A and B are shown apart, each in its own frame.
Chain A
Amino acid sequence: MNEQPKPKKQIGAPMNRVDARQKVTGAATYSAEYQLPNMTYAVLVGSTVTKGRLTGIDTKAAERAPGVLAVITHLNAPKPPSPKPEGKDPSQPQTQGNPLQVFNDDKIRFNDQPIAVVVADSWERARYAAGLVQAQYAKEAHQTNLEANADKAFLPTAAKKNPKHPMNDYQRGQVDAYKTGAVKLESEYVIPTEVHHPMELQAITAHWEAPDRLTLYDKTQGTLATRRDFAKQWNLPEENVKVIATYVGGAFGNALHSWPHESAAILAAKVVNRPVKLMLTREQMFTMVGYRPYTWQKLGMSATPDGKITGITHESIGQTSTYEEFTEATLAQTRMMYQSPNVTTRYRLAALDIGSPIWMRGPGEATGAFALESAMDEMAYLLNLDPLEFRLRNYTDEDPEKNKPWSTKFLKECYKLGADRIGWSKRQLKPGSLRDGDWLIGYGMGVGTFGAHRGAATVGAQLLPNGTVLLQCATTDIGPGTGTAMTQIAADTLGISPDKIKFELGNSSFPKAVTQGGSSTVNSVGPATQEACLALKDKLRTLAGAAFSTAKAEDITFEGGQTVMRNDANGKLPLQIGLRNNPSVKVSYSDILRQNGQQNVSATVEAKPGGEGQKYSMYSFSVHFAEVRVHQLTGEVRVSKLVSCADAGTIVNEKTAGNQMKGGAVGGIGMALMEHARIDDRFGRYVTKDFADYHVPVHADSPAVEVAFVNQPDPHVNALGTKGIGEIAIIGVAPAIANAVFNATGKRIRELPITPDKLI
């Protein structure tokens, strides 16, 4: 018998991660961990003022310090051949990769802006010398407080220029209809600045392998975006710049942009003509690699006494920098989640003297959902209705914003799954009804949604002579398990075991793909993997000759390969290609190659979305149910139970997808209860500088998060049926907790985080 047992279906199986062994043994190599000969170390010097001009910078002592190779400032920095002009192109809808040019002029735009970089032969020496650089400034008055600048808030330039831009004011039905509603509320909500803070500090190793060839080992979510930015900056052909990000130690959005430290490291490497490693400090992670912007929101809502929403007006002012206009979809969920004949949204920006924000997990949608889902809870109380029932009464069966059918929507199923698991029936509508000693117990829910985005992606597939398949794609993996999911998809498509498949990513030289962000990776790279594998089979079919001429790709089977033992002379069965419906037809792989004079067989295929987005409105959905305990004397809040349910289409790997949902829930606990980056506006400088001041959840803050997936394929997003998980995992978690706190205490906290001082 030559037949191998038919491999079991991998899509949906809880397969262990393909890179797990590297990660648990310390062998996974992150961007500051490459060993290059003649390595040098760079440390940034930051401005100590918030706005103004550098009038002098004394680098003598630093230059003289032991081991120092260079001190680079705006006075001596080589200018990249085509530095981008300051500020982003206002015609672009969103922040594009326009990094602040470092050492380009004497202007200070935010506190801790890099004003110098010191390069030395050791990290200790570079850090010491960086402390010796002395700068003088002509200070100017700065603005770092959003509320003090709310009166200067403006419509994003892109919206002003383009009336169809999504950041324009939105109107359905009557303007501000809620004001005349039967039952109405009007509440203001604040999300403070939150910082991504992946555990890996932002790091880059820059190496000019030749005067016109640059290799970057960089923490980035998009190897191609990073390549494009720095190729452009140095006026190099893109193929001369190589970006490697095999492992990325978390990012949550902050590696979606090119940042000043990357420019600084590349400049430094040019100057010293040696590889330069630059790792930011935790303090610098607050100031120069983005954050979730401080956002003020006002939400007005009206409903009929029997619980039908009649009007919603949602306004927000988000923070941006003075040199880029950062926008995000804070108001998107409000336009499409609930049935309301009248909806008004108004989005504004306030430009402050702080570095640019960047999308942070769930981005604007998570910010907006805090207001919308809190307001839904407030309205349910005004109506004396169960908040779940209130949501059901306003459920939308088609997209009320775009007037299109949903591609799929199983949110009701999510509600049911979640309500059962949390024990929603235990919940009492009256706040403060349940307690355990001094702990008040409450239940709350919050809903999340995010577009099921898909972009173009290309995957290269090669069948190697030993019967293994190598797949390559320039996409990255910041933690969700991209390589694992792709291996499963390839295994099912090819009908071979996952251990014979290797999926390589995180390298700009590989076939191009979307940046990892916006929950779009599996939606985009998944189909490309699938199609590349199908093309590979098809190619084999063609090469195999006449016996296979009438077969379809799905009829091709793989048998054998070097790992299968047999009693033949060399102990190994050569890889054979067979026909599913006619087991007697076989041809060995080596024969195919020999007949065609080839080394191996490969196929590279681009997969991209078609017109499905015109026909359907495509979203992932989630609902989060929280049980909290609030200490009535100390005001401490503990999330004792959290159930997250998602309609994310097909679940490729229930283990890694579940983990991603749990992680989003933990991120939501951080948002709800502790995360708050504070600036002392007198100085324009953060007083939260590290994990002692800026709290993120620890083990003790996390309950055992329960996850449930509806796991129904969406036939429209792609052939796999996936819709995306990363964002909906966090969107709606913070309001679920805030609503549970209200249910426990009767206190409505509209300004996050919910710290003990707000509850006593």
Chain B
Amino acid sequence: MNPEHDTPGSAHDEARRSFLKQSSLLTAMALVPGPLVQAASAELDEKVAAVFEKIPLKLEVNGIKHKLSVEPRTTLLDLLRENLNLTGTKKGCDYGQCGACTVHVDGQRVNSCLSFAVMHEGKKITTIEGLADGDKLHPMQEAFIKHDGFQCGYCTPGQIMSAVACIREGKADSEGEIREYMSGNICRCGAYSNIVAAIQEVKGGGQKV
């Protein structure tokens, strides 16, 4: 954890504020005609922004520790997909309404699209890429294959991450309970019957998930 980001009024905060002032000055200048001024200020804006608009972030993703520098407005989902090249986590709505972006944060399933990456400082993230044990698939992945719990495959990583959590949470005791507690993961192809069968098999098999 970086103490610099812990307290309002810190050095970072002050620097950011002066950047904002400076930035609006540059914006005002840019209203004056003159391509040169515009170009110069845009260039400066860009460089200043790059320095001040990002803040450090430490995360552990699938067992790998990352030291990153990110804009506060970058969501965990976009960080995974665009910065870390972990595109297994999907963007299906970007508003927490479909579940395609489901990952585990410190073991809990969450919608990665609805939180800023910086809010996860120091946390452990598991994505679909981190679920298998090397070449050995997780039992839930195996069950999804066996029961054909998908068609196009786009919601699948989110369904699988959610399904694993569903069993861990103890919310997979009946077909009805599975359907309710998996309702945060939409499958537009409609493979629900097969997904439920896969979860029931893993749950019934009693393997550790």
**B187: Cβ under 8 A from any A Cβ:** yes
- A151 CB, nearest partner CB in chain B, Å: 36
Residues of B contacting A122 with CB < 8 Å? 71, 82
Inter-subunit contact B38/A659 (CB<8 Å):
no
Interface residue from A24, A33, A67 paired with B87 (Cβ < 8 Å): A33
**A272: Cβ under 8 A from any B Cβ:** no
**A26: Cβ under 8 A from any B Cβ:** yes
Interface residue from B85, B145, B154, B157 paired with A21 (Cβ < 8 Å): B145
**B27: Cβ under 8 A from any A Cβ:** yes
**A478: Cβ under 8 A from any B Cβ:** yes
Inter-subunit contact B154/A667 (CB<8 Å):
no
Residues of B contacting A67 with CB < 8 Å? 46, 49
Inter-subunit contact A691/B189 (CB<8 Å):
no
Inter-subunit contact B92/A199 (CB<8 Å):
yes
Inter-subunit contact A663/B191 (CB<8 Å):
yes
Residues of A contacting B187 with CB < 8 Å? 199, 666, 699
The 7 residue pairs across chains A and B that have the minimum distance between CB atoms: A26-B88, A666-B190, A249-B154, A479-B151, A663-B190, A23-B153, A479-B152
**B105: Cβ under 8 A from any A Cβ:** no
**A754: Cβ under 8 A from any B Cβ:** no
**B112: Cβ under 8 A from any A Cβ:** no
Interface residue from A24, A35, A667 paired with B190 (Cβ < 8 Å): A667
> Which residues of chain A in 660-704 are interfacial with respect to chain B, using CB atoms and an 8 Å cutoff?
660, 662-667, 690-692, 696-700, 702-704
Q: A250-B189, A699-B182 are in contact. Are A64 and B42 (CB under 8 A)?
A: yes
Inter-subunit contact B153/A662 (CB<8 Å):
no
**B59: Cβ under 8 A from any A Cβ:** no
Q: Most A CB atoms within 10 A — which of B86, B91, B157?
A: B91
- Which B residue sits closest to A15, measured CB to CB? B148
Contact with A along B88-105 (1 / 0, CB 8 A): 111111110110100000
Binding site of B, secondary structure by majority: helix, strand, loop or mixed? loop
**A197: Cβ under 8 A from any B Cβ:** yes
A-B contact pairs, 26 of them (CB 8 A): A22-B153, A23-B153, A24-B137, A24-B144, A25-B132, A26-B157, A27-B88, A32-B87, A198-B154, A201-B91, A247-B153, A249-B90, A250-B189, A282-B92, A479-B153, A655-B148, A662-B192, A662-B193, A664-B190, A691-B97, A692-B97, A696-B186, A696-B188, A699-B196, A700-B179, A703-B193
- B176 CB, nearest partner CB in chain A, Å: 8
- A727 CB, nearest partner CB in chain B, Å: 14
- Which A residue sits closest to B181, measured CB to CB? A699
Q: How far is the CA of A281 from the CA of B175 in the complex (A)?
A: 33
- Which A residue sits closest to B92, measured CB to CB? A199
**A656: Cβ under 8 A from any B Cβ:** yes
Q: How far is the CA of A124 from the CA of B87 in the complex (A)?
A: 17
Inter-subunit contact A24/B156 (CB<8 Å):
yes
- A553 CB, nearest partner CB in chain B, Å: 33
Q: A25-B129, A692-B97 are in contact. Are A250 and B180 (CB under 8 A)?
A: no
**B10: Cβ under 8 A from any A Cβ:** no
**B167: Cβ under 8 A from any A Cβ:** no
Stretch at the interface among B1-9, B73-81, B201-209: B73-81
Inter-subunit contact B30/A23 (CB<8 Å):
no
Inter-subunit contact B153/A691 (CB<8 Å):
no
Residues of B contacting A616 with CB < 8 Å? none
**A28: Cβ under 8 A from any B Cβ:** yes
**B110: Cβ under 8 A from any A Cβ:** no
Q: A24-B145, A481-B151, A699-B185 are in contact. Are A64 and B190 (CB under 8 A)?
A: no
**A200: Cβ under 8 A from any B Cβ:** yes
Residues of B contacting A249 with CB < 8 Å? 90, 152-154
Inter-subunit contact B190/A199 (CB<8 Å):
no
Interface residue from A199, A480, A665 paired with B98 (Cβ < 8 Å): A199
Q: How far is the CA of A33 from the CA of B100 in the complex (A)?
A: 15
Interface size on B, residues (CB 8 A): 71
Inter-subunit contact A199/B160 (CB<8 Å):
no
Q: How far is the CA of A122 from the CA of B197 in the complex (A)?
A: 40
Inter-subunit contact B152/A248 (CB<8 Å):
yes
Inter-subunit contact A198/B89 (CB<8 Å):
no
Q: A21-B137, A249-B153, A691-B97 are in contact. Are A26 and B188 (CB under 8 A)?
A: no
Residues of A contacting B160 with CB < 8 Å? 24
- Which B residue sits closest to A41, measured CB to CB? B82
Q: How far is the CA of A562 from the CA of B137 in the complex (A)?
A: 26
**A19: Cβ under 8 A from any B Cβ:** yes
Residues of A contacting B132 with CB < 8 Å? 25
> Which residues of chain B in 130-178 are interfacial with respect to chain A, using CB atoms and an 8 Å cutoff?
131-132, 137, 141, 144-146, 148, 150-157, 160, 175, 178
Residues of A contacting B74 with CB < 8 Å? 124
Inter-subunit contact A26/B86 (CB<8 Å):
yes
Inter-subunit contact A691/B179 (CB<8 Å):
no
Interface residue from B81, B86, B156, B175 paired with A704 (Cβ < 8 Å): B175
- A66 CB, nearest partner CB in chain B, Å: 4
Q: How far is the CA of A66 from the CA of B185 in the complex (A)?
A: 35
Interface size on A, residues (CB 8 A): 68
Residues of chain B whose beta carbon lies under 8 Å from any beta carbon of chain A: 27, 30-31, 38, 41-42, 45-46, 49-50, 53, 71, 73-74, 78, 81-82, 85-95, 97-98, 100, 127-129, 131-132, 137, 141, 144-146, 148, 150-157, 160, 175, 178-180, 182-197
Residues of B contacting A63 with CB < 8 Å? 42
> Which residues of chain A in 473-528 are interfacial with respect to chain B, using CB atoms and an 8 Å cutoff?
478-481
- B204 CB, nearest partner CB in chain A, Å: 15
A199-B98, A662-B190, A700-B183 given; name 9 further pairs at CB < 8 Å. Answer: A24-B150, A67-B49, A198-B152, A199-B189, A249-B154, A479-B153, A666-B187, A691-B97, A699-B196
- A253 CB, nearest partner CB in chain B, Å: 12
- Which B residue sits closest to A26, measured CB to CB? B88
Residues of A contacting B97 with CB < 8 Å? 282, 690-692
**A259: Cβ under 8 A from any B Cβ:** no
> Which residues of chain A in 287-315 are interfacial with respect to chain B, using CB atoms and an 8 Å cutoff?
none
Q: A19-B153, A64-B30, A198-B154 are in contact. Are A666 and B192 (CB under 8 A)?
A: yes
Residues of A contacting B38 with CB < 8 Å? 64
> Which residues of chain A in 111-125 are interfacial with respect to chain B, using CB atoms and an 8 Å cutoff?
122-124
Inter-subunit contact B95/A691 (CB<8 Å):
yes
- A106 CB, nearest partner CB in chain B, Å: 24
Inter-subunit contact B45/A659 (CB<8 Å):
no
Residues of A contacting B148 with CB < 8 Å? 16-17, 20, 655-656, 658-659
Inter-subunit contact B145/A20 (CB<8 Å):
yes
> Which residues of chain A in 4-41 are interfacial with respect to chain B, using CB atoms and an 8 Å cutoff?
16-17, 19-30, 32-33, 35
Contact with B along A28-65 (1 / 0, CB 8 A): 11101101000000000000000000000000110110
Interface residue from B71, B98, B127, B185 paired with A26 (Cβ < 8 Å): B127
Q: A64-B45, A663-B190 are in contact. Are A199 and B87 (CB under 8 A)?
A: no
Interface residue from A21, A199, A481, A662 paired with B188 (Cβ < 8 Å): A199
Residues of B contacting A703 with CB < 8 Å? 193
- A12 CB, nearest partner CB in chain B, Å: 15
Inter-subunit contact A659/B191 (CB<8 Å):
yes
**A286: Cβ under 8 A from any B Cβ:** no
Q: A198-B152, A662-B194 are in contact. Are A29 and B183 (CB under 8 A)?
A: no
Q: A27-B88, A662-B190, A699-B196 are in contact. Are A199 and B95 (CB under 8 A)?
A: no
Inter-subunit contact A124/B95 (CB<8 Å):
no
Residues of B contacting A25 with CB < 8 Å? 88, 128-129, 131-132, 137, 141
- B43 CB, nearest partner CB in chain A, Å: 10
Q: Most A CB atoms within 10 A — which of B93, B146, B151, B156?
A: B151
Q: How far is the CA of A250 from the CA of B11 in the complex (A)?
A: 49
Inter-subunit contact B153/A28 (CB<8 Å):
yes
Inter-subunit contact A250/B186 (CB<8 Å):
no
Residues of A contacting B82 with CB < 8 Å? 122-123
Q: A67-B46, A200-B90 are in contact. Are A30 and B129 (CB under 8 A)?
A: no
Interface residue from B86, B128, B188, B196 paired with A197 (Cβ < 8 Å): B188
Q: How far is the CA of A176 from the CA of B180 in the complex (A)?
A: 49
Interface residue from B86, B144, B154, B183 paired with A250 (Cβ < 8 Å): B154
Inter-subunit contact A279/B91 (CB<8 Å):
yes
Inter-subunit contact B78/A124 (CB<8 Å):
yes
